Structure 1
């Protein structure tokens, strides 16, 4: 099947899976990435190797008409921030990959909240594009359990692996899956997490603190240690009665910091005073 892909490396395995299954790409749509939290270099490099046109601006009606002229049959979207409407006049199929078990978890990036809320299971969904984000009929879905020590990075890996599995099914059976797609019905919208949710609250329990760190993983949580803020990606802890004020730096050994929480101590082993980017690398 001839297709266009709209996305970045976040779910770039979808693009690669469709290619491996024999689908023929006609064009890549991507977006500018910061090279810190999001990337598209692998996906763009693959499109260049295949000598396919690449567009970094939002898809409009002229672009959709252009896809039709190229004989494109399907638009596959995975990690693309802009709403795409009006495709029905130009293409038989348009599918979006969303990292949640829709209709639960509509919204820009629900993975952090899934861990903060300690949900017992999660999923990846491919759905038909609709005029509203994340609301289209479900074409395919995979669900999986979450562990008690789940991190952002393990959850992301599970979503990516599920997306590859779904992409393989779509490559084999899109017309059938499309005809059998089921409406979502009422759902829940999860907004982008606020900075307060990303910030460690030392008045919470050790368990609460570690869950915040796990929820953001390599994207990093914020924490105030004494008078300065640091970026944190790795920590462990233990419960122990004490009389320290929560947030007090109790002990330091080289770059390991031990900070008091409400009911014990947290040892921060992965942190930086600098935001990700050039300042940290220098």
Structure 2
């Protein structure tokens, strides 16, 4: 089958490995791993790095694709491109649509306390992540995972679903589209600082989830001993001195910083601070030193 591809090159290489002909490829990042291999396979003339898809529509139509396939293309794909292939266009989104539509579903899956998430193959439409569902794969969310770890865990099922769906089209047996239930839809926008600033009146588990959901980037942040610290690892605990007020920190006897939250405490295990126009990583010991320095 003839495929016009947009996104990260790894998926295009796998589609080619499956026997499809990649007639045109638009790569979403200049530093994307696999771009050189894809150019060697397809030729420089069929691989465009960071293309303007609206301006590329004519070239894509001229390549005569049967199907448009997207994997981690993070911008809207114009109708003129989607309609360049008789079979239409599909992509794979890293959530169980219609839950968590938008650019940051892994943040929201963890922050919301979801026990499972997954990936969804869906038709591409004018509005992001609203197209009919072609298939899904599910995974359980380990309560220790950060957003980065969850995103990595979703890569394998995402690529598998992408390949399975493309092969179904190639066999002439495309999945039956199933419309999304709008009553179940939730949004997953990129979190802003207002949300990422930790509120110590919140329950400890909620705070720990937010730290994991935003780790390592953009990061949930707070002020520790007068210094703004972006936390990358934290854990809810009942082992917190009763004398502490909400938002107050101390170093426990085991050397771990603990902060009083709305119902218990939060252990601060890792983070980073801005330091001389750069960022400095802090482990649990460095965070403890920061608190001790202010206490004296």
In the alignment, the residues of structure 1 paired with residue 146 and residue 173 of structure 2 have an alpha-carbon distance, to the nearest angstrom, of 32
> 2:75 maps to what in 1?
82
Q: Which has the higher contact order (CA 8 A, sep 6+)?
A: 1
Q: Judge conservation of contact 1:206–1:239 (CA < 8 Å) in 2.
A: no
Does residue 20 of the first structure (1) align with residue 17 of the second (2)?
yes
- What are the residue-to-residue correspondences of 1:1-282 with 2, within 5 Å? 1-8=1-8, 13-32=10-29, 40-50=31-41, 51-52=43-44, 53-60=47-54, 62-84=55-77, 85-92=79-86, 93-175=88-170, 176=172, 178=174, 180-186=176-182, 187-192=184-189, 193-219=191-217, 220-240=219-239, 241-251=241-251, 257-274=257-274, 279-280=278-279
Aligned-residue RMSD, C-alpha: 2.9
* Counterparts in 2 of 1:211 and 1:70: CA distance versus 1, 3 Å: same
TM-score (norm 2): 0.79
* Counterparts in 2 of 1:146 and 1:191: CA distance versus 1, 3 Å: closer
Q: Judge conservation of contact 2:134–2:176 (CA < 8 Å) in 1.
A: yes
In the alignment, the residues of structure 2 paired with residue 65 and residue 29 of structure 1 have an alpha-carbon distance, to the nearest angstrom, of 13
Deviation (angstroms), 1:179: 5.5
TM-score (norm 1): 0.82
Deviation (angstroms), 1:24: 2.6
Point out where structure 1 has 5 or more consecutive residues left out of the alignment.
Answer: 34-39
Q: Judge conservation of contact 1:213–1:232 (CA < 8 Å) in 2.
A: yes
In the alignment, the residues of structure 2 paired with residue 48 and residue 257 of structure 1 have an alpha-carbon distance, to the nearest angstrom, of 50
Q: Judge conservation of contact 2:145–2:212 (CA < 8 Å) in 1.
A: yes
| Number of equivalences | 269
In the alignment, the residues of structure 1 paired with residue 166 and residue 157 of structure 2 have an alpha-carbon distance, to the nearest angstrom, of 14
Q: Judge conservation of contact 1:170–1:177 (CA < 8 Å) in 2.
A: no
Q: Judge conservation of contact 2:250–2:258 (CA < 8 Å) in 1.
A: yes
Deviation (angstroms), 1:88: 5.0
Q: Judge conservation of contact 1:21–1:171 (CA < 8 Å) in 2.
A: no
Deviation (angstroms), 1:147: 3.5
* Counterparts in 2 of 1:88 and 1:57: CA distance versus 1, 3 Å: closer
In the alignment, the residues of structure 2 paired with residue 127 and residue 237 of structure 1 have an alpha-carbon distance, to the nearest angstrom, of 37
Point out where structure 2 has 5 or more consecutive residues left out of the alignment.
Answer: 282-296
CA displacement 1:69-128 (0-9 Å, x = unmatched): 123222211222322213354212311211111122222222211111112321211111
CA displacement 1:189-238 (0-9 Å, x = unmatched): 41412323222222223322211111122223222213221112122342
